[in-house]
Amino acid sequence: MSLAEELQLGCAQLGITLVAGAQGKLLDYLALLHKWNKVYNLTAIRDPQQMVSHHLLDSLAVLPHLWAGRWLDVGCGAGLPGLVLAVAQPDWQFALLDSNSKKTSFVKQAVIELGLRNVSVHCARVEEWRPNERFDGIISRAFSELGEFLRSTRHLIAPHGCWAAMKGAPQQELVDVPDGCRAERVIPLQVPGLPAARSLVIATCKGDLTI
């Protein structure tokens, strides 16, 4: 099965219909990731076929549970899930943040080569980053445990905003949710071609926390 066929089949299994041109851009991104990975060690996964399920489809699996608005991807690494989501939702705005300059350099180049107009890339520590506007949603794929994720990004969430934490089996992490915050939903996910447990934790918070 070709990469395009695997991506198309996976999207169908997830119930996702990509906008025109999105599949081509996602495959172009995968090619860039595979190329740069040889020098910059951006991901432990080397096989492009495996990258479709473990990176593209894993990122896209959360899409039906997200909402329109301004999004922040914290600890974006090589652009996952933020860059993938930006391709799939060109009308949403995404800020991708990571403290690793090698990774943000790659993401910036990918944004340019893919012609994405809804993505900004920032190299900074999240605790020290102070953008002009807060975000409707903050997502993370592999940034930290849930409690630390909420605490370190509290200053970046809009009053009406929610967090979306991509996890495996999150039960142990739920006990460390900060005071004033709550895990509203734990959504089990089935990612085509990925046998590991996956879930999405939607969390909210009322009032300011001490940073």
Query: Would you kindly state where each structural domain of the chain is located, as residue ranges?
Result: 3-205
pTM of the model: 0.95
| Digitized pLDDT (tens) for each residue of the chain, 211 residues in all | 999 999 999 999 999 999 999 999 999 999 999 999 988 889 999 999 999 999 999 999 999 999 999 999 999 999 999 999 999 999 999 999 999 999 999 999 999 999 999 999 999 999 999 999 999 999 999 889 999 999 999 999 999 999 999 999 999 999 999 999 999 999 999 999 999 999 999 999 876 544 3
22-40 helix and 101-114 helix, angle to the nearest 10 degrees: 150
Q: Could you name the CATH architecture of 3-205?
A: 3-Layer(aba) Sandwich (3.40)
Cis peptide before 90 (omega within 30 of 0): no
Q: How far is CA 88 from CA 17, 84, 85, 121, in A?
A: 9, 6, 5, 17
Q: How far is CA 63 from CA 14, 120, 126, 134, 156, in A?
A: 9, 19, 24, 21, 21
Would you give the DSSP letter of residue 209?
P
